[in-house]
Structure 1
Amino acid sequence: MTNWMEIDTYAKKWIEEAGERLKVSFDEKLNIDTKTNPNDLVTNMDRETEQFFMDKITETFPNHRIFGEEGMGHDVKDLQGIVWIIDPIDGTMNFIHQQRNFAISIGIMEDGKGKIGLVYDVVHDELYHTVRGQGAFMNEKKLPPLKQGRVSETILSLNATWVTENRKIDPSILGPLVRDVRGTRSYGSAALELAFVAAGRLDAYITMRLSPWDFAGGAILIEEVGGEVSDLQGNPLDYLKGGPLFVSKPGLHKEIGENYLKDL
């Protein structure tokens, strides 16, 4: 039988160690490259942090597989067995320009089901973590179950580019939702935005495109506190391919889905 508490102990230790390494790097010169476009940035610390996890996991749990953003893990084609889905720095642009508002995200799956979720807000030293069925926490503080939400009282996290630029959707579709919610926010780190929904700091988060390592850790957290997690049509997330994502407090999925997202 899998000892999830042992795995969780190691994961929390490693994520905090990796966070310390990132903070030390603030005073060092970064090597910055681009990936798919000039704004899709990657640094030596993204790669070094992923390699750090790769080394620790393969040494301690040789039968586990790693699915990471920077491609240093295994060639994962399925989610059979235990798979660690890792984003070494979620919010690399913030890491480079602000030295804040970024996170390390880890989701640990077994046979396609989320078992452990961790999101570490490095600069604020806030570790959001859960072992499935054991409750979710921010450091040592237990997160309460999420309460029912209403659109008129919602703080929605949404990147403005999805409203102002046509990226496979008509941006005017999201306009009424932006108008009707209480307020909108954008932090530049999907992992943090998911953690903030789990903690009740945000009520919902919508995005048109994410990779599995962006959402794996945070989605497990949200489900543990009774939140709803899906794509924009209410279907389960694809932890191999990624795609659109909609997470929220209970009740908002139905209200927003029926009244605002039906034409997407």
Structure 2
Amino acid sequence: MANWTKIDQTVKRWIQEAGTNIRASFTNSLTIQTKSNPNDLVTNVDQETERFFIENIRSHFPDHRILGEEGQGDQIKSLDGVIWMIDPIDGTMNFVHQQRNFAISIGIYEDGIGQLGYIYDIVHDELYHARKGHGAWMNDTPLQKLEQVPVETAILGISATWLINNRHFDQNKLIQLAKDVRGVRSYGSAALELAYVASGRLSAYITMRNAPWDFAGGKMIVEEAGGIVSTISGEDIDMLSINPVFAAAPGLYEDILKKYLS
């Protein structure tokens, strides 16, 4: 049986070390490559950071499996056992162009159930973290349980990509939602936007395409803060596939799902 207290303490040390290394890279030249398209970037720092976590996991927890964005982990076909879902730098474009609004994201799941979640905003030294049944935290401060927010006072996290014609969803429904809420924000990092839902900085977050390493850590944190995370149709998220993701505070979740996403 996994010793989650030990794992939690160990991961937090690794995250701090990785964050220190990433901050140190700010003054160095980056090696930048593209993946699926010219806007899908990966740098040597992404790859080095993922390798850092993988080598440590393999050394300390050899029976655990790893699903990493940069493809250096395992070929995962099932959710059996303990699986680490890692995005070494979520928001690589922001990392390259702005050196802010990016994060390390890690979710650790056992037989498909989230046990530990971490999102580390490296620039601001804010570590959002959660353990199943123990609540959600930002650094040493517990996050308050999310309360109901009406649509008209909500702050929505959504990319402008989904407010123009696209093949994933009727943009007119989302445009109406964007008009009805108090404000709309986009940070370019799914992990940070989920962390902001958990902490109340955002009331809801919607995207049409997130991979498991994008949302694994954030899903855990939002849920431990009392929020709800699902697909945009209200179904359970497939933890091994690309999903549309909808996260929100309770009450607001039901209102948006019924009025704008159905």
Q: Same fold (TM over 0.5)?
A: yes
Q: Give the drift of 1:167.
A: 3.2
Q: Give the drift of 1:16.
A: 1.0
Q: TM-score, normalising length from structure 2?
A: 0.98
Matched, 1:109 2:109: yes
Residue aligned with 2:220, SS: helix
* Residue 197 (structure 1) aligns with: 197
One-letter amino acid of the counterpart of residue 79, structure 1: L
Whole-angstrom CA distance in 1 between matches of 2:24 and 2:247: 33
Q: Is the 1:5–1:131 contact (alpha carbons within 8 Å) kept by the matching residues of 2?
A: no
Deviations 1:53-72 (CA, angstroms, capped at 9, x unpaired): 00000000000011000010
- Structure 2: gaps of 5 or more residues: none
Q: Give the drift of 1:2.
A: 1.7
Matched, 1:246 2:219: no
State how many pairs are aligned.
262
One-letter amino acid of the counterpart of residue 255, structure 1: D
One-letter amino acid of the counterpart of residue 8, structure 1: D
Matched, 1:127 2:150: no
Q: Give the drift of 1:168.
A: 2.9
Whole-angstrom CA distance in 2 between matches of 1:82 and 1:57: 11
Residue aligned with 1:13, SS: helix
- Structure 1: gaps of 5 or more residues: none
Matched, 1:206 2:206: yes
| Aligned CA-pair RMSD | 0.8
* Residue 224 (structure 2) aligns with: 224
Equivalent residue runs for 1:53-202 within 5 Å: 53-202=53-202
One-letter amino acid of the counterpart of residue 54, structure 1: I
One-letter amino acid of the counterpart of residue 231, structure 1: T
Q: Give the drift of 1:144.
A: 0.8
Whole-angstrom CA distance in 2 between matches of 1:40 and 1:58: 28
Equivalent residue runs for 1:251-262 within 5 Å: 251-262=251-262
Whole-angstrom CA distance in 1 between matches of 2:244 and 2:140: 32
Q: 1:168 to 1:130 in 2, by over 3 A?
A: closer
Whole-angstrom CA distance in 1 between matches of 2:169 and 2:148: 29
Whole-angstrom CA distance in 2 between matches of 1:191 and 1:220: 11
Whole-angstrom CA distance in 1 between matches of 2:166 and 2:111: 37
Q: Is the 1:116–1:129 contact (alpha carbons within 8 Å) kept by the matching residues of 2?
A: yes
Q: TM-score, normalising length from structure 1?
A: 0.98
One-letter amino acid of the counterpart of residue 90, structure 1: D
Whole-angstrom CA distance in 1 between matches of 2:117 and 2:175: 32
One-letter amino acid of the counterpart of residue 57, structure 1: I
One-letter amino acid of the counterpart of residue 202, structure 1: L
Matched, 1:2 2:2: yes
Residue aligned with 2:48, SS: helix
Residue aligned with 1:236, SS: coil
Whole-angstrom CA distance in 2 between matches of 1:5 and 1:84: 16
Q: Give the drift of 1:165.
A: 3.4
Seq. identity, %: 58
Q: Give the drift of 1:170.
A: 3.0
Q: Give the drift of 1:172.
A: 1.6
Q: Give the drift of 1:187.
A: 0.2
Moved more, 158-167 or 64-73: 158-167
